[in-house]
């Protein structure tokens, strides 16, 4: 099965963007971490980034169809700032009934008040935040532990 890793707005700037918060690793480094974790767990990797909300929504719909067809284990999603704003992403995840792990590089709960609310958390299987780029590997490990075929 495959794992879809979705990265939202501004994550293309990783490594240059606020390194004190997000670290020195680039999105290419994150992809390498994901590829290694997928190899460990026997998944193939589909790694994507977009700055556009609608594109992310289209990809979640696609993931729902792939999961229903039995070819996708689930989604790891760092929705960036759309986490805190996007009812549309919430509805897409719910509508597609996709297994999705919400992921944040930084510990959003130790940051500004506007980062405390997530539209993804109520429709995610689980949430990982604050483990830096290695969090992606933890999220892929979490997908490997989900009971297949059922959305809890
Ligand atoms: C982020 C946290 C969000 O609050 C922020 O808007 C991001 C990145 C993280 O990975 O820590 O763009 O999702």
- Residue-wise pLDDT for 98-146, tens only, equals 999 999 999 999 999 999 999 999 999 999 999 999 999 999 999 999 8
How much is the ipTM here? 0.99
CA–CA distance, 152 with 149 (Å, rounded to integer): 10
Nearest CA to ligand 1 atom 12: 80
Contacts of 75 (CB under 8 A, 6+ apart): 3, 4, 5, 6, 60, 63, 98, 99, 100, 101
Binding positions: 78, 84, 91, 105-106, 115
Ligand 1 pocket: which of 9, 19, 78, 82 to mutate (most atoms <8 Å of CB)? 78
22 tagged catalytic:
yes
Annotated active-site residue in 61, 104, 109, 136: 104
Give the pLDDT confidence score for residue 152 in this predicted structure.
38
Label residue 149 by pLDDT band (50, 70, 90): very low
104 tagged catalytic:
yes
- pLDDT per residue over 42-60, tens digit each? 999 999 999 999 999 999 9
What's the gap in Å between 65 CA and the centre of ligand 1? Answer: 27
What's the gap in Å between 104 CA and the centre of ligand 1? Answer: 6
Q: Measuring CA to CA, how many Å separate 91 from each of 42, 54, 96, 101? A: 30, 12, 8, 15
Could you give all domains of the chain from N- to C-terminal order, each with its CATH number? 2-145 (3.40.50.9100)
């Amino acid at each position: 099965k495959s794992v879809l890793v979705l990265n939202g707005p501004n994550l293309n700037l990783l490594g240059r963007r606020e390194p004190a918060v997000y670290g020195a690793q680039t999105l290419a480094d994150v992809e390498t971490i994901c590829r290694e974790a997928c190899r460990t767990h026997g998944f193939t990797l589909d790694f994507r980034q977009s700055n556009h909300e609608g594109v992310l929504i289209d990809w979640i719909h696609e993931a729902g169809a792939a999961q229903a067809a039995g070819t996708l284990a689930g989604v790891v999603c760092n929705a960036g700032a759309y986490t805190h704003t996007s009812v549309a992403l919430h509805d897409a995840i719910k509508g597609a009934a996709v297994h999705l792990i919400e992921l944040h590089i930084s510990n959003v709960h130790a940051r500004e008040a506007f980062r405390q609310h997530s539209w993804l958390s109520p429709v995610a299987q689980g949430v990982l935040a604050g483990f830096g780029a290695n969090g992606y590997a933890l999220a892929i490990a979490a997908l490997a532990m989900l009971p297949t075929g059922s959305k809890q």
